[in-house]
Every structure is written in structure tokens, then in C-alpha cells.
Amino acid sequence: MLNEQILADEGLCNGCRSCEVACSYYLNTKFKPSTSAIIVNRDPKAGKISISFTDACDVCESVNTPLCIAVCLPKALILGRKQDIAVPERNGVMADDQK
């Protein structure tokens, strides 16, 4: 998992917060989402979800797969490197930094 981090696709997230529960258990052996290193915020008016991480996130270094990723049913969380994520083409034109 060298140089890898947890990446979030907020468009896939359904806001269930299972990741927060799993993370809180990993960090504190308690199911207490307020102590989680991942934070899922839902804006009901805008219908948007945002996902952020605190400095406490160690990418679950003592296990093979970070627990938040393991419990994420919509697969909104993945392990990877930001530079490996392809930028989608816009109107059939690849983004400048992807050429």
C-alpha cells in the first residue's frame, strides 16, 4: 500500500456511513462514528454528499484492505494514487494534463 490512499467517488456514495462505523471500530474498538477518521456529510437541500478524512487515517495499515473500503457496498471508496485516476474526456477531448 506504499503511497496509496483512500480515494472517494462522492457520486457513488449513498450516505449510509458504514465506512464511519467500520473506521471507528478499527481506530477505537468501538462503534462510534464520531471517532472515525472518515467523515461523510450529507447536504439534504442540495442532495450532495461529501467525504473527507482526518489526519487519524492510517489507511488501516495493519490489515490488507482498509475497513471502510471493505464495507462500502456502492464501491465509492477505493485504494489508489490520485495520479493514477484517469480524467474523463470532455466532449470527446482529453483533458490537457492527460495528453
Q: Tell me phi and psi for residue 7, to 5 degrees.
A: -110, 140
Q: Tell me phi and psi for residue 35, to 5 degrees.
A: -105, 10
The parent domain of residue 65 ranges over: 5-98
Round the CA-based radius of gyration of the chain to a whole number and report it. 15
- What would the mean pLDDT of 41-61 be, rounded to a whole number? 94
- What would the mean pLDDT of 54-66 be, rounded to a whole number? 95
Tell me what pLDDT residue 86 has.
54
Q: Please state, for a pLDDT cut of 90, what percent of the chain lies above it.
A: 74
**pLDDT of 26 higher than 60:** yes
**pLDDT of 31 higher than 60:** yes
Beta carbons within 10 angstroms of residue 76's beta carbon? 22
Domain CATH number, residue 41 = 3.30.70
Contact 71, 13 (CB under 8 A): no
pTM to 2 decimals? 0.79
Total domains present in the chain: 1
Q: How far apart (Å, rounded) are the C-alpha atoms in residues 10 and 51? A: 7
Q: How far apart (Å, rounded) are the C-alpha atoms in residues 76 and 35? A: 21
Tell me what pLDDT residue 90 has.
45
